[in-house]
């Protein structure tokens, strides 16, 4: 009996210790971006190129916000962006806003953006408007999107913590130093700061469910809400972009050298997965887990159950 228990325990530890089995990417096609071969280089600028952030979406309503595509049917954004009872749609493949013409560089034109309505909106039940805790929401798209160089999900890691990083990338069409929203998708670099700095600045008690970050030269601003806070990591043999947070709140005047607070997406992964499971389509083309992944997780559950039975006898 002892030998059987030891064997089962060894298998359980083997399953739990393997990142390729227990942990997984929310969408296996995530986090891939590329340089635009038709675009020019910008020296000292903060403009992105069209291929760099294909997961970025514009959440369109009476209060436009940013968001990130995380699967072919779901967009992640901030709860304060979707509190109003109204219809939402998201704009995918967007780069240069306010311009009805295709975006062209060196005689090469990219496909225009397209809009998809959201047929389900869900924000965190414990979202607090005063403290901005749990400022996170999901939009389910009315139809699955087709991935391309311009439309692709960002990576979220399930059942494992992302490695810590002192630096993040933030993107959006929000307010600039000129007092108006940007027409071109912009990016900036912000740095991790101790949450005590944000607590002192905003007289709130941010915690591990939030990220404090800032920069001496840039900041996120009005209109950037819900947009992703990300960093590129090595995952297996690929370099993929992972989402760490999303824009929640900051200085009203968006001053540089002032920290801002971001919802910690990693902290809310269970909520994301559970909400998606509740609302995602049930047809065979939208399985929550790949068949192989389901096999391993079911096997792990059986091994753990057997071990608990034997341990009690």
The pLDDT tens digits of the residues spanning 35-84 come to 544 343 322 235 555 678 899 998 887 777 899 999 999 999 999 999 87
Residue 253: CATH number of its domain: 2.40.10.10
* Residue 280, φ and ψ in degrees, nearest 5: -75, 155
Q: Are 235 and 23 in contact (CB under 8 A)?
A: no
Distance between CA atoms of residues 46 and 29, nearest Å: 27
- What are the helix (H) ranges across 22-152? none
Query: Would you say residue 5 lies in a domain?
Result: no
What is the count of structural domains for the chain?
1
User: pLDDT digit string (tens) for 153-187?
Assistant: 999 999 888 999 999 999 887 655 445 555 677 88
CA 252 vs. chain centroid, Å, equals 24
pLDDT of residue 251: 80
Question: Active site residue: 27, 36, 39, 135, which one?
Answer: 135
* 295 falls within a domain: no
Which contiguous run of DSSP H or E holds residue 3? helix 2-17
CA 166 to chain centre: 18
Q: Is 80 a catalytic residue?
A: yes
Cα–Cα nearest to 72, from 230, 283, 236, 238: 283
Catalytic residue among 33, 181, 218, 225: 225
Residue 226, C-beta contacts closer than 8 angstroms, at least 6 positions apart: 59, 65, 66, 67, 76, 77, 78, 81, 137, 246, 247
Residue 258 to residues 56, 197, 210, 215, 249: CA-CA distances in angstroms? Answer: 24, 9, 16, 7, 12
Read off the pLDDT of residues 97-140 as tens digits, 9 standing for 90 and up. 655 555 565 565 666 677 899 999 999 999 999 999 999 999 99
Domain containing 87: what range? Answer: 46-279
Asked if residue 124 belongs to a domain, the reply is yes
Question: Of the candidates 309, 302, 261, which has an alpha carbon nearest to the alpha carbon of residue 131?
Answer: 261
| 132 catalytic per annotation | no
Model pLDDT, residue 123: 94
What's the whole-number mean pLDDT along residues 245-261?
85
What percent of the chain stands above pLDDT 70?
65
Determine the pLDDT at residue 150: 85
Is 299 a domain residue? no
Within-domain flag for 214? yes
Residue 231 lies in a domain: yes
Q: Is 62 exposed, middle or buried (0-12, 13-18, 19+ CB in 10 A)?
A: exposed
Which one is catalytic: 36, 72, 80, 124?
80
State residue 287's pLDDT score.
43
Global confidence as pTM: 0.75
Is residue 1 classed exposed, middle or buried when 0-12, 13-18 and 19+ CB atoms within 10 A define those classes? exposed
Contacts of 278 (CB under 8 A, 6+ apart): none
Residue of 246, 244, 53, 76 lying closest to 165 (CA atoms): 244
Residues 103, 104, 106, CA angle at the centre, nearest 5°? 160
């Amino acid at each position: 009996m002892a030998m059987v228990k030891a064997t089962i325990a060894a298998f359980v530890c083997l399953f739990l210790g393997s990142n390729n089995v227990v942990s997984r990417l929310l969408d296996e096609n995530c986090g891939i971006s590329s340089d635009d071969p038709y675009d020019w280089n910008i020296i000292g600028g903060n403009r992105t190129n069209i291929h760099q952030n294909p997961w970025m979406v514009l959440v369109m309503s009476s209060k436009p916000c940013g968001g990130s595509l995380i699967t072919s049917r779901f967009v992640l954004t901030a709860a304060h962006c979707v509190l109003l009872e109204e219809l939402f749609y998201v704009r995918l493949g967007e780069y240069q806003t306010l311009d009805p013409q295709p975006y062209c560089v060196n005689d090469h034109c990219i496909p225009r953006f397209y809009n998809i309505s959201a047929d389900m909106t869900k924000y965190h039940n414990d979202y607090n408007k005063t403290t901005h805790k749990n400022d996170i929401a999901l939009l389910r798209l009315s139809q699955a999107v087709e991935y391309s160089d311009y439309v692709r999900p960002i990576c979220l890691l399930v059942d494992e913590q992302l490695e810590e990083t002192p630096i993040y990338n933030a993107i959006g069409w929000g307010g600039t130093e000129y007092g108006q929203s940007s027409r071109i998708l912009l990016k900036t670099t912000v740095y991790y700061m101790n949450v005590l700095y944000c607590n002192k600045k905003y007289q709130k008690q941010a915690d591990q469910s939030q990220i404090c970050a800032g920069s001496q030269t840039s900041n996120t601003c009005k209109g950037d809400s819900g947009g992703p806070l990300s960093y590129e990591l090595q995952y297996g043999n690929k370099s993929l972009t992972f989402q760490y947070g999303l824009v929640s709140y900051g200085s009203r005047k968006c001053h540089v050298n002032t920290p801002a607070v971001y919802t910690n997406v990693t902290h809310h992964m269970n909520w994301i997965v559970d909400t998606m499971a509740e609302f995602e389509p049930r047809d065979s083309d939208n399985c929550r887990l790949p068949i192989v992944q389901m096999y391993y997780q079911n096997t792990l559950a059986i091994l753990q159950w057997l071990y608990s039975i034997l341990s009690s006898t």
